[in-house]
Structure 1
């Protein structure tokens, strides 16, 4: 029932939307300081409101619902403007508003010299509006509004540098690929209406709970449609290809999309719909397999990438795969836990990468970096915390959440141990490619001075004005370093709230989420010694990845070149990302273009539609020419036609009368 105690949840998305309207309509005339103030206030107020909600959360009756009217009413079906708050919603709100505010703050420094400053912050606020709508929605239709909205906002932000073809194409690619996934989401909504007569979460889940005999069947069909939507939004196989190209947007956009908002929407949707997925083992297995395959696949591609942001992009795809793996083995709270810790260290990685790019006046190629450890020490130490965290080294946040996922995979029935092994090997690859990035960027010979002197913006998408001041390698301003410091602390201690009981912790985070994410699938009970053993193995694997990266990129930096030559075919396979984009281009895009350009346009449009219109026009023109001869204006011609007509009538009358007599 709708709560009588209002928390004014409608303010959470409305305030960023107001910031969007102000900057979009008036920002062009505002000084940059005012644009910044509007954007930051529009994000800070929701964050403070969420903190206020968290402070009184224990006294609320959950789920807390606030209804603001009916949107659609057709017969027995209705969809309301209703927001819902429970443990999962609160966690997502804290991540979206907290990390989102830090990214807004960082952007004020990073984008300080960019054209379209007001437009950028308007888009950021719009993104926050739609993401908060998605998280707060109490029904699938309202969630779909936020779902589509973040897709629109990401299109605008990825294509922010719209004068560059690469950025414009990347924005369009993200938009189109996500529409494929959204088709699955739409089908799922239609099936919900057909079988349950509603799109309300509480109503659908209560109906499923009230009928324990419901398993598989149409529930599996709905779940698989939702999985298709989730693979698009959370960049999983086969719809992951848009996310690496999203690097064409400004670096803060990458942090916002990859860390705290859009790409986590698919994971959130699966966790939110866990009651449905629990009744479909096939759908759960599909989620687990897709997640594990994506995690491994993306990690292999990240091994050889040279653009610092592209390495992080494939890292995001891989880490999202871990979240899907967790949901696939019904460890939903573990998946959400990794979503939270990932928001900390991945936002830090992207923002620190942006600080490196800022220091080098726009350079993004790690091959021409190096030796930056003493040049930009704050960026170095904060990014170091993020690298250690994502690599799974204890006791940092990434170790805690990733180890919990691997433990649940190992103890899951069926192919759980195989999933665990692939996830473990992926953890090794993650450690290797992240320390590779670390060494290439901050250690070795100082190639950065030369890089900064020859950096040029068109290839790097940052800072249109590269003057003598920018050529010197320089640390970022504190408005950028402050968010890095906060995220570095969270990357270290953010996982402690979910420290597993088997490792001596209380797993407060898991217990907190339990009422919202309780699953009927209980993993095979494991002993504390088993969890300690698995944690030790994962730690040794992470250290092995670090050791190999240290050997290749610090102790013996000539080894990677030799290895790439001796394994040229395999190296090219990874460097070209398995040629998946080219395969999609040949198998999907080319036939569609042929169909649209030659069949639909050539045959249907030109042949049928245009041919039909031409035939009608020529027929009318011919009839007009005949009629024109009748209307000549010549009296003799009229008399002749009159006589001819009279003769015709007489003949018709005569033969018609004769025929009538013969019939009689």
Structure 2
């Protein structure tokens, strides 16, 4: 029974992919959308069944599908692990995935390749499930690479635009750089433990068998973190994610807000028992996380593309999650992953609703005044904005407060930097809200004439995500955390987040709220009270232009890495490859000359062929009997 349900969980999206890719055009636009959505809903229902079962029994479910391969004493099985961590991840992967599929039915309705879009979305869900439920690092790596492939396909979905193709290639290549580190980490762990199975490695670590190999484990965890930097967009491999906004908005919501970019957090949390052995690597993780959070938040202050603001917000929030991981508070990072999935998916889908109403317009300088026209979109967007800004009692307040609280008790410098990032978040998110929904409409008359609320298939997922953004914080209330208790069997240590609500906790909560209100107040003063509109691109000067140009990081990468590689490639092509080809073609010319002479023997004369046959046979006999 369990095996059948596991296969249904795993294969339902894959069957949806196959059906849509081969038969989607014949089925029609609506049919392909509903079929793709149904496939993910089936996985969500199965996930819910397993989630309730594990919640009641508190025992993980392991299903052996088949023996994969054996090399001497090194065995790798294709097993499925459904424990508290994987099921929690599956709940929002398949749950939010279902909502985004439903949203996409209406959003992508006019696209001629809608069947391909849903097939790619289904394939992504299949690989994301594979990544989450695998019982060993090799199965995780299959899903890891699979979601990278789907990201490439979906970012470049509108392939007739070359800029979108470039964005897709950039995402694919930068992820491969990180994945090389991930692979090296897998090889080292396999060498040290003679297994890649998570539970076996955990048992070995808890038994003290890893102490003799701490140096190798440190290298392995650092390599795994490099892989996480690529997938979860951390310094220096973060620049692909903002460019990934080239894909359709549902792609941004599904892959680059709620699921794929959290794969790095999932992997580190899954291997928490290894990272606990390497405090130096944890320090690196925390430093990179907080630096990424501050850098991305500062860039978000000046962006005018509504999706770019949300993209840098995603990078910044991922940085806070890595800060929590680096401080050893894995359950806090997971909590923020869950609440972030709620409010960021709502924000991206809300931005898609706005873009849909404005016929593709993404520049906030051309928006405004949508509050009264798009009431549902505005209300849900407001709730999600309050959540990400850390205003109580919305979901983001609780998870972000936990991160700040852990940082305060572990390292005051990290707490200050994370608090600054949070204040900037509140500012640029309310800047986005005010520029998009308040004051007068600044678009064209034609756009103004066609302004309307989005259809029900778009607003329904927004309402659900808005509700989750409002109440999601109840999963982990300080001092009485359901989430920490639920996840405790996954960790090798007692939860770090069980802070009692003492005076220090209340002080930190108050400071966090005051910081958020300061950011909101500055945004209100600039964009509501003074009615400021961001300057046009050619009018932005000084340091503001440096921030607007994203600190010229992409240009620096181009000069430092891309152009030298191009130069080396050109040299190899023009000189080395040409010289080698002359040598190779020289041998080829000799062979061609011999063949020209040899083929003259094949003249079609049967008598000559019989003579050659008899002569050859006589030669063989003569050699065997007289020369041996």
- On whether the aligned pair clears a TM of 0.5, the verdict is yes
Contact kept in structure 1, 2:51 and 2:88, CA below 8 Å: no
Q: Report the secondary structure of 1:83's partner residue.
A: strand
SS of the residue 1:62 aligns to: coil
> Could you tell me whether the CA contact under 8 Å between 2:478 and 2:500 is conserved in 1?
no
Aligned to 1:434: 429
What do residues 386-425 of structure 1 show as CA deviations (whole Å, max 9, x unaligned)?
A: 111000001100000000011011111xxx1111100001
1:151 pairs with 132, 148, 152, which one?
Answer: 148
Query: How do residues 135-214 of structure 1 correspond to structure 2 at under 5 angstroms?
Result: 135-211=132-208, 213-214=211-212
| Match in the other structure for 1:466 | none
Greater Cα radius of gyration, structure 1 or 2: 1
Structure 1 unaligned regions, length at least 5 = 454-470, 629-664
Corresponding residue of 2:586: 615
CA contact (8 A) 1:258 1:347 kept: no
Q: Give the match for residue 467 of structure 2.
A: 489
Q: What corresponds to 2:285 in structure 1?
A: 287
Cα distance in 2 between the residues matched to 1:215 and 1:384: 51
Distance 1:620 1:17 in 2: 50
Cα distance in 1 for partners of 2:10, 2:590 equals: 60
Q: Structure 2: which 5+ runs fail to align? A: 599-628
Q: d(CA) in 2 for partners of 1:611 and 1:148?
A: 39
Q: Could you tell me how far 1:259 is from its partner in structure 2? A: 2.5
Q: Please give the alpha-carbon distance, in whole angstroms, between the structure 2 residues aligned to 1:357 and 1:312.
A: 14
Q: Is 2:124 aligned against 1:127?
A: yes
From the superposition, tell whether residues 36 and 617 of structure 1 become closer, same or farther in structure 2 (CA, over 3 Å): closer
Residues 411 and 525 in structure 1, CA contact (< 8 A), matched pair in contact too: no
- Contact 1:157/1:253 (CA < 8 Å) preserved in 2? yes
2 CA distance for matches of 1:475 and 1:559? Answer: 24
Question: 1:22-61 residue pairs with structure 2 within 5 A?
Answer: 22-60=19-57
1:28-67 CA-to-partner distances (Å, cap 9, x unmatched) read 1112221122111101111111112222223436232101
Q: 1:571 to 1:66 in 2, by over 3 A?
A: same
SS, match of residue 392 in structure 2 = coil
How much does 1:114 deviate? 1.0
Partners of 2:95 and 2:101 in 1: CA distance: 10
Note the alpha carbon deviations across 1:503-547, whole angstroms, 9 max, x for none.
xxx111112111212437958977621111101000000000000
Q: What SS does the aligned partner of 2:557 have?
A: helix
| Structure-2 separation of matches of 1:479 and 1:402 | 31
1:320 Cα shift?
0.4
Once residues 172 and 359 of structure 1 are traced to their aligned partners in structure 2, the CA distance between those partners, rounded to angstroms, is 30
**Mapped pair 1:545 → 2:498:** no
Write the distance in 2 (CA, Å) between the matches of 1:558 and 1:374: 20
What's the C-alpha RMSD, in Å, of the aligned pairs?
Answer: 2.3
1:535 to 481, 498, 509: 509
* 2:566 counterpart of 1:593: yes
Alignment of 1:574 with 2:571, yes or no, is no
Give the structure 2 partner of residue 236 of structure 1: 234
How many positions carry a matched residue from both structures?
A: 598
- Which segment drifts farther, 242-251 or 522-531? 522-531
1:321 aligned to 309, 319, 329, which one?
319
Distance 1:490 1:521 in 2: 24
Q: Is 1:420 aligned to 2:415, yes or no?
A: yes
Aligned partners of 2:332 and 2:497 also within 8 Å: no
* 3-state SS in 2 of match to 1:82: strand
Q: After TM superposition, give the deviation of residue 611 of structure 1 in Å.
A: 1.7
Taking the TM superposition and a 5 Å limit, the aligned residue runs for 1:200-599 are 200-211=197-208, 213-214=211-212, 216-412=214-410, 416-450=411-445, 452=447, 472-501=450-479, 506-519=480-493, 528-558=502-532, 568-598=541-571
Report the Cα distance in structure 1 between the residues aligned to 2:453 and 2:104, rounded to whole angstroms: 15
Q: Is the 8 Å Cα contact of residues 324 and 407 (structure 2) preserved in structure 1?
A: yes
For residues 102 and 232 of structure 2, what CA distance do their matches in structure 1 show?
25
| SS at structure 2 position matched to 1:218 | helix
Q: Is the 8 A contact 1:277 1:284 kept in 2?
A: yes
Whole-Å separation in 2 of the counterparts to 1:585 and 1:58 = 50
- What SS is found at the alignment partner of 2:77? strand
Secondary structure at 1:446's aligned position in 2?
coil
C-alpha distance 262-58 of structure 1, shift in aligned 2 (>3 A): closer
Task: Report the alpha carbon displacement of residue 445 of structure 1 after superposing the two structures with TM.
Answer: 2.0
**CA distance in structure 1 between the partners assigned to 2:58 and 2:518 by the alignment:** 48
Q: Aligned partners of 1:47 and 1:522: how far apart in 2?
A: 30
Deviation at 1:204, TM superposition (A): 1.3
User: 2 CA distance for matches of 1:348 and 1:521?
Assistant: 29
CA apart distance, 1:110 = 0.4
The Cα shift of 1:620 comes to 6.9
In structure 1, how many angstroms separate the alpha carbons of the residues matched to 2:158 and 2:588?
Answer: 47
Aligned equivalents of 2:217 and 2:91: distance in 1? 31
Q: Given the two structures, how large is their TM-score scaled by the length of structure 1?
A: 0.86
1:609-648 to structure 2, matched below 5 A, reads: 609-616=580-587
Secondary structure of 2:158 counterpart: coil
**CA separation in 2, counterparts of 1:620 and 1:409?**
72
| TM-score when normalising by structure 2 | 0.91
Choose which of 84, 99, 122 in structure 1 pairs with 2:81: 84
Q: Distance in 1 between matches of 2:339 and 2:497?
A: 23
- Confirm or deny: 8 A CA contact 2:478 2:498 kept in the other structure: no
- Contact kept in structure 2, 1:72 and 1:78, CA below 8 Å: yes
Deviations along 1:236-272, one digit per CA (max 9) or x if unpaired, are 1010111011111000000001232110000100111
Q: CA, structure 1 residues 149+98, in 2 after alignment: closer, same or farther (shift >3 Å)? A: same
CA distance in structure 2 between the partners assigned to 1:488 and 1:61 by the alignment:
30
Distance 1:619 1:6 in 2: 62
1:397–1:620 CA distance, 2 compared to 1 (3 A):
closer
Checking the alignment, whether the CA contact within 8 Å between 1:215 and 1:279 is kept in structure 2 is no
Verify the 8 A CA contact 2:402 2:497 in the aligned structure 1.
no
Partner of 1:646: none
2: CA distance between counterparts of 1:622 and 1:171? 47
Distance verdict in 2 for CA 1:615–1:133, change over 3 Å: same
Q: C-alpha offsets along residues 333-352 of structure 1, whole Å, 9 cap, x if unaligned?
A: 00000000000000000000
Give the aligned partner of residue 456 of structure 1.
none
